[in-house]
Amino acid sequence: MRVLVVEDERVLADAIATGLRREAMAVDVAYDGGGALERTGYIDYDVIVLDRDLPVVHGDEVCRRLVAGRTASRILMLTASGDVDDKVEGLGLGADDYLAKPFVFVELVARVRALGRRSAPALPPVLERAGVRLDPGKRLVTRDGREVALTKKEFAVLEELMRAEGAVVSQEDLLDKAWDENIDPFTNVVRVTMMTLRKKLGEPQVIETVPGVGYKL
């Protein structure tokens, strides 16, 4: 899942990004509304965590522009006010969800995951295919009942393959969804991650390479 965190309080923004990365999400950070609009102009995010009170371009205006541009990204708006009127106003701008500060981080993660499921065709919370069972909420993977310990990136790659439901996922799409904007597009990290993931999942192999196209499960 690819997430953009837009928050001008840098310590909070970096803490949110670090926490979401530990949940196997690919996270970029913008510290003002202008940076958010710039990134959303060339990256398709599944979820945008958007603070309302932003410099350069206010969070409300960022939300308006994204909605007007028919973004497919789901927007979780953050605010220092938990007042009902503020929540109604934020949702009225087109935000998909609203969370007041201070918040409990596990709730933020749950809301981001729920919105991420809504950014694509509806899928069950727990994914199962070819004997592999993946629970994003618990970050648990099993193969034929055997627990499989994966790194955050291996988990993220496997989740994207399972969400594709048998369709081919290109290396570019995997880089986009499982890594952040700092990744070198010419790196062999996807191939290396795929090798270790296949080894951990064991035999018979369930991940197929489609030469020149990508991978499918």
Residue 183: predicted pLDDT: 74
Residue count of the chain: 217
Q: Report yes or no: 180 and 26 within 8 Å, Cβ to Cβ.
A: yes
Mean pLDDT (the chain) is 90
Residue 80: predicted pLDDT: 79
Q: Report yes or no: 61 and 32 within 8 Å, Cβ to Cβ.
A: no
Superfamily classification of domain 2-117: Response regulator (3.40.50.2300)
> ω into residue 102 within 30 of 0, thus cis?
yes
pLDDT tens, 47-78?
Answer: 999 999 999 999 999 999 998 888 889 999 99
Please indicate, yes or no, whether the overall pTM of this predicted structure exceeds 0.75: no
Q: Given a cut of 60, is residue 99 above it in pLDDT?
A: yes
Residue among 11, 59, 23, 65 at smallest CA distance from 40: 65
CATH level 3 topology of 127-216 = Arc Repressor Mutant, subunit A (1.10.10)
Bigger pLDDT: 33 vs 1: 33
Q: What's the pLDDT band for 134 if we cut at 50, 70, 90? A: very high
Q: Given a cut of 80, is residue 120 above it in pLDDT?
A: no
Report CA dihedral (34, 39, 40, 43) to the nearest 10 degrees.
180
| Contacts (Cβ under 8 Å, ≥6 apart) of 177 | 1, 2, 26, 46, 156, 160
Rounded distance, CA 44 to CA 26, Å?
12
Angle at 50 between CA 43 and CA 117, to 5 degrees: 65
Q: What's the pLDDT band for 186 if we cut at 50, 70, 90? A: low
Domain limits of the chain? 2-117, 127-216
Q: What's the pLDDT band for 88 if we cut at 50, 70, 90? A: confident
> ω into residue 204 within 30 of 0, thus cis?
yes
SS3 155: helix
Q: What's the pLDDT band for 11 if we cut at 50, 70, 90? A: very high
